[in-house]
Amino acid sequence: MDFITNIDDMRDYSRKARGEGRTIGLVPTMGYLHDGHLSLARAAREECDIVVMSIFVNPAQFGPGEDLDKYPRDMERDRRLAAEEGVDVIFAPSAEEMYPGGYATYVEVSGALTETFCGGSRPRHFRGVATVVAKLLNIVAPDKSYFGQKDAQQALVIKRMAGDLNMPGEIRIVPIVREPDGLALSSRNTYLSEDERRQAPGIFRSLKRAEELASAGELSAARIKEEIRKILRQGRDIRIDYIEIVDADTLEPVETVKGNTLVAIAAFVGKTRLIDNVVISS
Amino acid sequence: MDFITNIDDMRDYSRKARGEGRTIGLVPTMGYLHDGHLSLARAAREECDIVVMSIFVNPAQFGPGEDLDKYPRDMERDRRLAAEEGVDVIFAPSAEEMYPGGYATYVEVSGALTETFCGGSRPRHFRGVATVVAKLLNIVAPDKSYFGQKDAQQALVIKRMAGDLNMPGEIRIVPIVREPDGLALSSRNTYLSEDERRQAPGIFRSLKRAEELASAGELSAARIKEEIRKILRQGRDIRIDYIEIVDADTLEPVETVKGNTLVAIAAFVGKTRLIDNVVISS
């Protein structure tokens, strides 16, 4: 497995692979890999000749007072896990390499996709995400890149950005990977105390309940939200950031479940903010 | 010469050319070609195997009340002139093709490069320019693209954007082409009445004077500006929008000419806003 930290070296590597007629899959991550990331690498491994995993804790997507410094890092472990999944290259540039002095350009997706929802509580977050993904796509020039459905809004923002800017290559969205008790995998799960960890699966339980309700014909968003709230309140250290029931493509709020509808939750468990979602339909 | 209006067709054309090992030069224009544009095509013709000229009057770079509808268009003439210069492809998408319903993504270069100067009087202009150029670079995937020094600030914004976003390919800046009396070529020159046309070369005369002053050792930006103002005031219908003396790379204002210094003017001649510039050095 190659380990590249320099943008020009990464570009050369990709150019050479393409010249040899090989397809490239990109898995962008912020590292501290868990099985969610590895499921993206496995999807890339199945579909592409070369798998590039980027590991970059992107300062541009953290707001002031957010957990940039605290964000967990373990490059040695990441290298081992990536190698085990058959990743061909880790691309791990420094912040200085990605955002050198005088850096001034940002990619912004406007409208409902970014302004509601996670964007409401983290205004600059998606600008940072769109910018770094545009940069990575330009550097690596992958045939396909892989993102997780767990960050549903992020996946939509990236698809919109890549489509709007006519970036070549396909954006692939991979299903959520969960612990046996339903908790969606996240690097932030490591912040949870034992007690908080026991409460955290309440988030997925509430989403399952929403799914059941819709299957049983309860299509009112307000009533589904109320049921979700009841379940979340059972967790003593759970504090709801948002519960949203929205069109799965546009993120416009809906009053009634109709077609593909995204039920998304962000909640603090203790001090740790977790997100999860399911897509339900009428 | 090919004439392509569809993004996917343009992408396919470029992919095929690259596959055959041919290099591509892109000349982005808003059409109504004059010898300034054609000098860009000639530079591309010298350096690349294939010359693609885009002709697209970009709505995103016109502000409310600016001259989008009034902007001159003559596709028949443009096709003839481009063919005469050996352009291989005109890429002329519709506004709907470039900005379909739901379009939401913009590329923004922040800081001194866009906030001062032309950016001050046309706040959204450079966002529109950076966005459309990012799109064109992604669609055409040129080895080199060609922009004119006449739009000095635009050239710097595009260079910064392409560098910051790690876009592949080189940005080439081509010198200003002038009428025999010094007036910089511009599609907007056609708006001038005969009388205004006679006054307009005052802009270049004032820039030449700035050059002479600097050569003679007058390095004070304030005093050079005053001399420029005197000459511009001789034009009865000339109204100064700005006179800026700035570092030629960063566009930071300077008090004293030092190293490469850009002297840039925007002035209304009647109702027509013209820009011009020279680079002087101490």
Q: Which residues of B are catalytic?
A: 37
The position carrying tokens 């939750």 is A265
Residue of B nearest to A132 (CA): B165
d(CA A36, CA B173) in angstroms, rounded, equals 46
Sheet holding B2-4, edge to edge: B2-4, B89-91, B50-55, B24-29, B144-148, B170-174
**What's the longest Cα–Cα distance across chain B?**
57
Give B114-152 pLDDT, tens digit per residue: 887 766 667 689 999 999 999 999 999 999 999 999 999
Strand partners, A174: A148
Q: Which two tokens stand for residue A89?
A: 């290259």
- Name the more confident of A82 and B71: A82
pTM of this prediction?
0.90
Look up residue B142 and give its two tokens. Answer: 């040129």
Q: Which candidate, A235, A227, A244, places its Cα nearest to that of A268?
A: A235
The answer to whether A134 contacts B165, with C-beta atoms less than 8 Å apart, is: yes
Identify the band that residue A67 occupies on the pLDDT scale cut at 50, 70 and 90.
confident
3-state secondary structure (DSSP) of residue A141? coil
Cβ-contact B137, B162 below 8 angstroms? yes
Q: What percent of chain B has pLDDT over 90?
A: 88
Q: Are B165 and A103 an interchain contact pair (Cβ–Cβ within 8 Å)?
A: no
- What span, in angstroms and rounded, lies between the C-alpha atoms of A203 and A197? 11
Closest chain A C-alpha to B76 CA, distance in angstroms? 27
- Give contacts of A164 with chain B, Cβ < 8 Å: 103-105, 135
Cα B61 from Cα B63, distance rounded (Å): 6
- CA nearest to B168 within chain A: A138
Q: Which domains does chain B have, with CATH numbers?
A: 2-174 (3.40.50.620), 187-275 (3.30.1300.10)
First-last CA distance in chain A: 46
Q: Where are the beta strands (DSSP E) in B50-112?
A: 50-55, 89-91, 105-109
Give first-to-last CA distance, chain B, whole Å: 46
* Segment holding A195, helix H or strand E: helix A194-199
ipTM for the predicted complex comes to 0.89
Using a CB-CB cut-off of 8 Å, the residues of chain B touching A113 are: 104
How far apart CA A5 and CA B143 sit, in angstroms, is: 24
The pLDDT of B83-100, averaged and rounded, is 98
pLDDT of residue B248: 93
B181-234 residue pLDDT tens: 999 999 899 999 999 999 999 999 999 999 999 999 999 999 999 999 999 999
Closest-approach residue (CA) in chain A for B126: A105
B116-to-B111, B119, B242, B253, B280 alpha-carbon distances in Å:
8, 5, 10, 9, 20
Q: Which of A23, A96, A99, A107 is the best residue to mutate to test the B interface, defined by the most B CB atoms within 10 Å of its own CB? A: A107
